[in-house]
Amino acid sequence: MDSATIRKQCIQFFAGQGHTIVPSSSLVPSDPSVLLTTAGMQQFKPYYTGEADPEKDFGSKNTASIQKSFRTSDIDEVGDETHLTFFEMVGNFSFGGYFKEETIKLAHEFITKVMELPISYVTIFKGSDMVPKDEESRQIWNSLGVNDVREEDIQDVFWGPTGNSGPCGPTTEIYCKNAAGKDVEIWNCVFNQFFYPGSREELLAGTPGKELEPLTTPGVDTGMGLERLAMISQNAKNIFDTDLFHPLIQSLPAGVDPRKKRIIADHVRGIVFLLADGVRPSNKGAGYILRRLARRVMVYEKTEIIPAHVIQSMVHEVIHDYGEFYPELLKEADVIRTEIEAERGKFGKTLERGMKELEKIGQISVSDAFRLYETYGLPYEVIKEIGGEKTDDVTREGFDAEFLKHQEISRAGVEKKFGGHGLLLDTGELKAGSEEELKIVTRLHTATHLLNAALRKVLGDSVEQRGSDITAERTRFDFLFPRKLTSDEIAKVEELVNYAIQKDFLMTIQELPLDEAKKSGALFFYKGHYPERVKVYTVGNEFETFSKELCGGPHVARTSEIGKFKIVKEEASSAGVRRIRAIVL
Ligand code: SER
């Protein structure tokens, strides 16, 4: 079945089963806690929580859509057989209309009857501390004759929430075999039973104080990748071997490495759709994602892996092929072309110098890579692409951490300029701009005490604090130590801090004269200017004192409030001084 027919079949099927068809929302979501639209359910969030009434807005409790979606989390995977940045997600949704039985029956009927495809196997949620096993879904699948039902854990088959909070729940996924004999997940059916007042990371970390709450009306949110469905239906070995990509791949010279062809085809689609939804190339947020895609494909042009005119003709192809279903592409066609030209112009000016510079450097370090980004506008992917083996030391994590560090430096610059005004808290060590930030900074502050103590336990008493700086994003801790920490040491320190968190130790505060406090063995900062009487903050219980430090607060009352502690970076700060950056989840 060609992709246009598949889209039609999806719409007809769900409309015929009492769903209101809702147009795709923009790739730029109205929910400010998410950068880009990553799933069909996003535009429906308020209907799950009861804030909006589906019957009033759609005349039905059940809807379906084909949603433009974009996942940056998959960007490094693009080039393989199943991953994309931009993709189309077919989905049906119910806000109290139907639940597990109807959902599974609909999915089964669509795949096996409408698409006439065999199901390879399905998965269900095996249960966790918080949620019981989804036995009901297994029984429904069995009743339909699907007996290969595999159990998976919370990482794989528990969906959501997206953004800072939202609906979530166990899922059942459908796998089909592609022409290469590989099982590919094509449909994910989420049973939104809960609301979680935090992010997915917080949920997986089991953040104290944040519990799953039952949703007033359990809802359904399903998502099926159109590209993957087309792959199975067209008996293709990978998503690029479908009519959705054929014309794009074919416009590239035959000799180009297939992986590069896929990246170019994926990115060109992404660029066109992002531009059509109003994203413009820039150095932050969605604009930066667009810029990265654009520059990556432009580098292939500049290095003559592909001819210069090819991108524009691929852009034209995307607008033409997808314009019927997504008319915004036709409407914005001129803007799309002009914006791409403008970006090409900007990039072209510095790219050559950047490439020369890159050639000059031997092995490239993370800070070299960042300098190449800052001076010549070469994004991570481009540096990896042109640098090849020379960039083996440059990882996505390392580069992102460097990026973050520089953003912090520029933010710190702004704070200085404005004299720190507008900050709710600024002790010199701790900075918070709002109540919400204050809460995170407080957790990070106690975590920093635990870190200090853990470092001494692992590396010995010669470890001495040399400075710390805490913002809502992270804690940065400098300490005296003569060499780089091994990954084993880092893991041990992290483990110890998490041990102290999990022990749920109490934070106790005692006021003492300075001398006495120092004699008590409490740690203090050699450069600190302390008053006559000081406060000693102790973490521990009747059996164990984990940490004891002179401090002015603020701190959490119990260590479990900190959540999960994670070291993101260890590096040299100056001679003999190491620097650790850590976050709490
Ligand atoms: N929200 C789920 C997903 O993205 C199902 O639509 O997989």
Assess whether the C-beta atom of 281 lies below 6 angstroms from ligand 1: no
- What DSSP line would sit under 302-363, residue for residue? HTTSS-TTHHHHHHHHHHHHHTTT-HHHHHTHHHHHHHHHHHHHHHHHHHHHHHHHHHH-SS
Query: Rounded distance, CA 209 to CA 509, Å?
Result: 23
Closest-lying ligand 1 atom to the alpha carbon of residue 91: 6
**Considering only CA atoms, which of 268, 284, 273 is closest in space to residue 379?**
284
Residue nearest to atom 3 of ligand 1 (CA): 223
Output the six-digit token pair for 545: 């004192």
Assess whether the C-beta atom of 41 lies below 6 angstroms from ligand 1: yes
Distance 388 CA to ligand 1 centre (A): 35
Distance 105 CA to ligand 1 centre (A): 18
Mutation probe of ligand 1 site: the residue of 38, 159, 162, 226 with most atoms within 8 A of C-beta: 159
Assess whether the C-beta atom of 27 lies below 6 angstroms from ligand 1: no
Residue 167 DSSP one-character state: E
Closest-lying ligand 1 atom to the alpha carbon of residue 39: 4
Distance 63 CA to ligand 1 centre (A): 14
Assess whether the C-beta atom of 173 lies below 6 angstroms from ligand 1: no
Query: Left if phi > 0, otherwise alpha if psi is -120 to 50, otherwise beta: which for 116?
Result: left
Assess whether the C-beta atom of 218 lies below 6 angstroms from ligand 1: no
Q: Which residues pair with 533 in a beta bridge?
A: 513
Assess whether the C-beta atom of 223 lies below 6 angstroms from ligand 1: yes
- Tens of each residue's pLDDT in the chain, 585 residues: 999 999 999 999 999 999 999 999 999 988 777 789 999 999 998 999 888 999 999 999 999 999 999 998 778 889 988 899 999 999 999 999 999 999 999 999 999 999 999 999 999 999 988 889 999 999 999 999 999 999 999 989 999 898 888 899 999 999 999 999 999 999 999 999 999 998 888 888 888 888 999 988 889 999 999 999 999 999 999 999 999 999 999 999 999 999 999 999 999 999 999 999 999 999 888 999 999 999 999 999 988 889 988 999 999 999 999 999 999 999 999 999 999 999 999 998 888 888 888 889 989 999 999 999 888 888 898 899 889 999 999 988 888 888 777 766 555 544 443 343 466 777 778 888 887 888 899 999 999 999 999 999 999 988 999 889 999 889 999 999 999 999 999 999 999 999 999 999 988 888 888 888 888 889 987 666 777 888 899 999 888 899 999 988 889 989 999 999 999 999 998 888 999 999 999
Q: What is the CA radius of gyration of the chain?
A: 27
Assess whether the C-beta atom of 167 lies below 6 angstroms from ligand 1: no
Assess whether the C-beta atom of 49 lies below 6 angstroms from ligand 1: no
Assess whether the C-beta atom of 40 lies below 6 angstroms from ligand 1: yes
The angle that helices 3-16 and 226-233 make with each other, rounded to 10 degrees, is 110
Q: What pLDDT, in 10s, does the model give residues 156-211?
A: 999 989 888 889 999 999 999 999 999 999 999 999 999 999 888 888 888 888 89
Mutation probe of ligand 1 site: the residue of 221, 226, 228, 229 with most atoms within 8 A of C-beta: 221
Distance 216 CA to ligand 1 centre (A): 20
Asked whether the beta carbons of 580 and 565 are under 8 A apart, the reply is: no
With the C-alpha atoms ordered 85, 164, 45, 169, is the resulting torsion angle positive or negative?
positive
Q: What pLDDT, in 10s, does the model give residues 75-128?
A: 888 998 889 999 999 999 999 999 999 999 999 999 999 999 999 999 999 998
- pTM metric for this prediction: 0.70
Residue nearest to atom 2 of ligand 1 (CA): 223
Assess whether the C-beta atom of 241 lies below 6 angstroms from ligand 1: no
Closest-lying ligand 1 atom to the alpha carbon of residue 160: 1
Distance 503 CA to ligand 1 centre (A): 36
Query: Left if phi > 0, otherwise alpha if psi is -120 to 50, otherwise beta: which for 50?
Result: left
Asked whether the beta carbons of 392 and 383 are under 8 A apart, the reply is: no
Distance 225 CA to ligand 1 centre (A): 9
Assess whether the C-beta atom of 225 lies below 6 angstroms from ligand 1: no
Closest-lying ligand 1 atom to the alpha carbon of residue 89: 6
Looking at residue 527, what is its pLDDT?
62
